[in-house]
Amino acid sequence: MIATLKFSLPDEQAEYDAARLGSEAMQVLWQIDQTCRSLCKHGEPTAEERRLAEQIREMIPAEMLDI
């Protein structure tokens, strides 16, 4: 399958940037998820740190972590 995305620049610059940087954003979200997971699993977080780490992980859609 071949997909071609076309943008009318500069009018659609934001959309172009989102498409161009999407895979990098997914990698950053994966790293954030793994850092929070590691803190909860292997660290010694306070109750507040654990709650925040779990909330952050819940905010990331599972589909975005399948990279």
Which single residue is written with the structure tokens 């929070």?
36
Q: Where are the domains of the chain?
A: 23-65
pLDDT digits (tens, 9 = 90+) for 33-66: 999 999 999 999 999 999 999 999 999 988 877 7
Q: Is the dihedral of CA 44, 67, 60, 18 positive or negative?
A: positive
Predicted local confidence at residue 67, as pLDDT? 63
pTM, two decimals, is 0.77
- CA–CA gap between residue 23 and residue 40 (Å, rounded): 26
The pLDDT of residue 52: 97
